Chains A and B, each alone.
Chain A
Amino acid sequence: MQLSTHTTPSGFLLPSIHSAPPFFTQQPNPATQAIVAEQWSKLILSYARFRNMFTLRVEDAEIPGGEWDEVLRNERINRRLLPAHLASLIADMVSKNLASYDPPNQTRSVLLWWRQPDEWAEVLYQWADSTGQMNTILTFYEILDPPVPSALSGIPITVLRRAVSILTKSQRAQIISVSDGEGVRFLSRNGK
């Protein structure tokens, strides 16, 4: 059986394993299932990065025509990922720190870390540096929705908060809070 890669209408290149029917089924053998889970998490993260998406819900497996449709479904071989299987894949990703339940205390929706929090922190810091916003007080809204689109446009505030808190630990950022909101100030590393 010849498996081939497939380019989706949005331009994402699906790997050849996506055309293999067993890939969509939960495997009874734990070793096989581990490989399937690894391939799935790789696929999910790269698709999320490609589409700049951050959340994955179990119900995404049930909505035809949703934004995850291209990956969770393969009409050419008439297969789709069942919600139960997706839930177990999500649990696997959470245990590997590739995703985290967001909001916490539920298992239906996750935030995908296709960039690890410290990588986001680096991206954030680079952005502040390259746009000359060191030592300037910025609001979170201003970072998420800047006048000039950046790599950070539209990231969830949870991601931003994690990144900022990592930067505050290395004293590269400082959180300023007032009565009706919070702001952040980025500090140059060699500053006083």
Chain B
Amino acid sequence: MGGNQSVPKVTAQDRAILDLKLQRDKVKQYQKKIQAVLDREYEIAKRQLAEGHKDRAVSTLRKRKYQESILHKTDAQLENLETLVSTIEFSLIQVSVMHGLKQGNEVLKQIHKELNIENVEKLLEETAEAREYQREIDEMLANTLTVEDEEAVQAELAALQGEQLGAGQKKTPVVFPPVPKTEPVASKPVVMEPRAEDQAASPERERVPVAA
């Protein structure tokens, strides 16, 4: 058993606690015994009184009183032992809390060691440099293109945009009205020669004034 690594070792402390608890158990058992004697003596005293032996009943009761005082004393001792046991148990918990705090502190320290300000600054600088570098590459690539290439790229972009627009809304062919074949005669006074205009204008044109 002692060689097993998964079983904690029995320390002197453990033994002391066990000893204490055993003592406590003994006191408890002793109390039980005295209680039994007390009950028995009470019965005896009662019987003696019934039989008419008053003196004997008194002496039995005296004995009983004495036992009772012992019981009270052991009560106090038991209380002492129990207080001690619970104090020890509480202290053990305090120790484990302390241990936990210590470990937590250590971990935090370690994390901070990896996270010191210099490193962070350096990291940020490096990131900025990398970004700058990327921008330079972009510029260089843009500069290597000729004017025609650039135009072609722009045209392609426009075509792409056009396609996207076309995809967005179905293109309906725009129908323009036919170009009038005759010369507009609006400059002539309309009231003067309505007939001449009627004849000259297309049927479309004719309808406009009527509607107005």
Please tell me if the beta carbons of B17 and A137 are within 8 angstroms of each other in the complex: yes
Asked if B29 CB lies within 8 Å of chain A CBs, one says yes
Per-residue B-contact encoding for A151-192, CB less than 8 Å = 1, 0 else: 000000000000000001001001110101101010100011
Asked if A7 CB lies within 8 Å of chain B CBs, one says no
Q: Which of A176, A187, A192 contacts B18 (CB 8 A)?
A: A176
Given contacts A174-B7, A178-B22, contact A137 B14 (CB under 8 A): yes
Please tell me if the beta carbons of A183 and B22 are within 8 angstroms of each other in the complex: yes
Across-interface contacts of B19 in A (CB, < 8 A): 178, 180
Please tell me if the beta carbons of B29 and A178 are within 8 angstroms of each other in the complex: no
Asked if B89 CB lies within 8 Å of chain A CBs, one says yes
Please tell me if the beta carbons of A142 and B25 are within 8 angstroms of each other in the complex: yes
Asked if A138 CB lies within 8 Å of chain B CBs, one says yes
Please tell me if the beta carbons of B21 and A174 are within 8 angstroms of each other in the complex: no
Tell me the complex Cα distance, A141–B18, Å. Answer: 12
Please tell me if the beta carbons of A183 and B6 are within 8 angstroms of each other in the complex: no
Asked if B1 CB lies within 8 Å of chain A CBs, one says yes
Tell me the complex Cα distance, A112–B45, Å. Answer: 41
Please tell me if the beta carbons of A168 and B1 are within 8 angstroms of each other in the complex: yes
Please tell me if the beta carbons of A139 and B8 are within 8 angstroms of each other in the complex: no
Residues of B in contact (CB 8 Å), total: 17
Residues of A in contact (CB 8 Å), total: 20
* Minimum CB distance partner of A183 in chain B: B18
Tell me the complex Cα distance, A83–B65, Å. Answer: 47
Across-interface contacts of B14 in A (CB, < 8 A): 137, 176, 185
Tell me the complex Cα distance, A89–B14, Å. Answer: 46
Asked if B47 CB lies within 8 Å of chain A CBs, one says no
Tell me the complex Cα distance, A175–B14, Å. Answer: 11
Please tell me if the beta carbons of A139 and B15 are within 8 angstroms of each other in the complex: no
Q: Which of B17, B18, B89 has the most A CB atoms < 10 Å from its CB?
A: B18
Q: Which of A138, A171, A178, A187 contacts B15 (CB 8 A)?
A: A178
Tell me the complex Cα distance, A76–B19, Å. Answer: 55
Q: Which of A136, A139, A174, A185 contacts B22 (CB 8 A)?
A: A139
Please tell me if the beta carbons of A141 and B8 are within 8 angstroms of each other in the complex: no
* Minimum CB distance partner of B4 in chain A: A171
* Minimum CB distance partner of A140 in chain B: B25
Tell me the complex Cα distance, A134–B148, Å. Answer: 83
Please tell me if the beta carbons of A192 and B6 are within 8 angstroms of each other in the complex: yes
Asked if B10 CB lies within 8 Å of chain A CBs, one says yes
Given contacts A138-B21, A139-B18, A183-B21, contact A174 B8 (CB under 8 A): yes
Asked if B28 CB lies within 8 Å of chain A CBs, one says yes
Given contacts A171-B7, A180-B22, A183-B21, contact A141 B15 (CB under 8 A): no
Please tell me if the beta carbons of A192 and B22 are within 8 angstroms of each other in the complex: no
In the A-B complex, the 3 residue pairs with the closest CB atoms: A141-B25, A183-B18, A181-B22
Which residues of A are in contact with B by a Cβ distance under 8 Å? Answer: 136-139, 141-142, 145, 168, 171, 174-176, 178, 180-181, 183, 185, 187, 191-192
23 contacts between A and B (CB under 8 A): A136-B89, A141-B28, A141-B29, A142-B25, A168-B1, A171-B7, A174-B7, A174-B10, A178-B15, A178-B18, A178-B19, A178-B22, A180-B19, A180-B22, A181-B25, A183-B18, A185-B8, A185-B14, A187-B6, A187-B7, A187-B8, A192-B6, A192-B8
